Amino acid sequence: MAANTAANTPATEDLNVAGFECMPSPRQIKERLPLDEGAARTVLDARRTVSRILDRQDKRLFVIVGPCSIHDPQAGLEYARRLQGLAERVRERLYVIMRVYFEKPRTVNGWKGFINDPRMDDSFHIEEGIGRAREFLLDLARMGMPTATEALDPISPQYLGDLVAWYAIGARTSESQTHREMASALSAPVGFKNGTQGDIAVAINGIRSARAPHSFLGIDPEGATAVVRSRGNRYGHVVLRGGQAPNYDSAQVALCEQALAAAGLTANIVIDCSHANSLKKPELQPLVFHDCIHQVIEGNRSIVGLMLESNLVAGNQSIPEDLSKLVYGCSVTDSCIGWEATEKTLLEAVAALDKR
């Protein structure tokens, strides 16, 4: 009787689900694209360096610089090779990490990034995107270029987290309990961005939450649903990215320092020179960068890092129906500064720091 009742019960779940497709497990992906000793050394050395900067044991600034998003691995590799040479030239003052963002949060709709749609044609081969993203991170780690990315999807770190030196929790997700729990388990330092309206309390509360142990739902290396029990991440810090107005100036930085002190946290602040801090005008990013360098020269000790959105070619482009018409090395998401401006910005910053 019970069986008949169950058979006649109307469905109440998955009503808006068109289908399920199995993903390879994190272990399967890693067995196909394994971490080798050289790549592991790049990742561990970068995490250690950023941690030392946050602990004030390394007096350099770290700089997260690179494309708004990766959509063409070939252009990404060319950028990485150029950046590696530039990183060597500025290494006495700046520690350079390449921005490698594969996931893009959208305000409404749009291309969600290389993992979600690697072919850029709405075919959504996520299993392909994960594998190609891991392959790209491996290529960079093997050449000695550390990488930074945004932790957006809570599943992705199981596939890619062993190759990432620094994470951001974005302005849209800093208030999310899911992302705070995830950050508490990440193996790398994590920057929490202020809210989209400029609220720094969101980021500070995110840091405090991620420092504590948590228990939450996730997946294990076999891809099975698991309860993840984290130890907490002591290397959380604030990323100021502006809100309704820029917040990189000395007055706003001082207010952030005071808020961190009131919360019992070390005054570690990263300035994102893009987004609202440059009024969404990429050509203003170098001005923001140099203003922050000037603050450091004038004695500021809370600014520990800077972020730039940069690509081989300045500006951005829409994704055309005919992908052969894409401009090589030009962003398909936010506008970026070009390579020449990137090189000039970092070299001028080093020259200014050398004179102090």
Number of alpha helices (DSSP H) and beta strands (DSSP E) in the chain: 11, 10
Tokens matching residue 78: 């060319």
In a domain, 195, yes or no: yes
Per-residue pLDDT of the chain (356 residues; tens, 9 = 90+): 344 457 789 999 999 999 999 999 999 999 999 999 999 999 999 999 999 999 999 999 999 999 999 999 999 999 999 999 999 999 999 999 999 999 977 666 788 999 999 999 999 999 999 999 999 999 999 999 999 999 999 999 999 999 999 999 999 999 999 999 999 999 999 999 999 999 999 999 999 999 999 999 999 999 999 999 999 999 999 999 999 999 999 999 999 999 999 999 999 999 999 999 999 999 999 999 999 999 999 999 999 999 999 999 999 999 999 999 999 999 999 999 999 999 999 999 999 999 97
For residue 16, tell me if it sits in a domain: no
Say how many domains are in the chain.
Answer: 1
| In-domain check, residue 12 | no
pLDDT at position 2:
44
pTM for the structure as a whole: 0.96
The CATH number linked to 310 is 3.20.20.70
Residue 221 belongs to a domain: yes
Residue keyed to tokens 């899911």 = 178
pLDDT score for 8: 82
Check residue 1 and give its pLDDT: 39
Q: For residue 108, what pLDDT is reported?
A: 61
Residue span of the structural domain in which 343 resides: 24-355
Domain membership of residue 3 (yes or no) is: no
Residue 13 has φ and ψ, to the nearest 5°, of -130, 160
Does 36 reside within a domain? yes
14 in a structural domain = no
The CA angle 139-21-105, to the nearest 5 degrees, is 60
> In the prediction, which pLDDT does 354 show?
96
Helices (H), 188-334: 200-211, 250-262, 285-297
What phi-psi label fits residue 164: left (phi over 0), alpha (psi between -120 and 50 degrees) or beta? beta
- What is the C-alpha end-to-end distance of the chain, expressed in Å? 85
In a domain, 13, yes or no: no
Q: Under a CB-based contact definition with an 8 Å cutoff, are residues 230 and 213 in contact?
A: yes
